[in-house]
Amino acid sequence: DKVSWGGEDAAFSNGRTFGVFDGVSGAEKVKGKKLYSVSLAESMKKKCGKGGLSVVDITNYMNEAKEFADSEGTGASTAVVASIGEDNMLRALNLGDSVCLVLRDGTVAARTREIIHYFDCPYQLGEDSPDRPKDGTTLQTEIYSGDIIVAGSDGVFDNLSDADVCGIVESCPPKAKSAAIAKKIVELSRAVSLDKCAVTPYST
């Protein structure tokens, strides 16, 4: 089903703000409509502007994005949105099981906290979901020169540990482009997902 939709995830980046939206596979979807995750990403990119946002700003924009996705989109989606303020503070809102990591000197300096109802049922936004942006977990942490920020869905973090991600980042040249680092993370997470011997939350 994911293949027929061209994938169910979406992301955006605009100025100091970025986000990852993971479409919920089990949510009912109507053919011909835009995916909920895509609707959220499009709305957030238009609304957030170039400057840093507070957690309140992020929450308010997410409320508006949810209203847009309820009317234009189909399905459901988790969401993690973060913004780097002019004061060098990273502020994030996480609704579901996606993750935003701050890596410093080869270790995890800060991490958003996932929030789920039960196994395989993360908090999520959707027309029929009771969850709202205000229900998400928040993170506020100072960012320093040289820090690496990694945001991804459970498609990455179900298959890679935080230590795995740190190892990948550390293996990259000091001036490696973000796209190259992201590509390595995605490739390894996919390889693990296809490894029948790997231990993951969904391995049998």
Which tens digit of pLDDT belongs to each residue from 79-109? Answer: 999 999 999 999 999 999 999 999 999 999 9
Query: What letter represents residue 117's amino acid?
Result: H
Residue 1 has pLDDT above 60, yes or no: no
pLDDT in tens, 165-174: 999 999 999 8
Residues in the chain: 204
User: What's the pLDDT at 201?
Assistant: 77
Q: How far apart are CA 102 and CA 106, in angstroms?
A: 10
User: What's the pLDDT at 7?
Assistant: 66
Cβ(99)–Cβ(152) under 8 Å?
yes
User: What's the pLDDT at 6?
Assistant: 52
Least confident of 5-9, 40-44, 156-160, 175-179: 5-9
For residue 74, what are the contacts with CB-CB under 8 A and spacing of at least 6?
28, 29, 30, 33, 34, 35, 36
Residue 175 has pLDDT above 90, yes or no: no
pTM comes to 0.92
User: What's the pLDDT at 163?
Assistant: 96
Calculate mean pLDDT across residues 183-198: 92
User: What's the pLDDT at 28?
Assistant: 85
Calculate mean pLDDT across residues 133-145: 97
Half-sphere exposure of 129 toward its Cβ, with a 13 Å CA cutoff?
28
User: What's the pLDDT at 5?
Assistant: 46
Residue 25 has pLDDT above 90, yes or no: no
CB atoms within 10 A of CB 99: 22
User: What's the pLDDT at 203?
Assistant: 67
Calculate mean pLDDT across residues 15-20: 98
Calculate mean pLDDT across residues 132-160: 96
Q: What is the mean pLDDT of the chain?
A: 93
Calculate mean pLDDT across residues 44-63: 96
Residue 2 has pLDDT above 60, yes or no: no
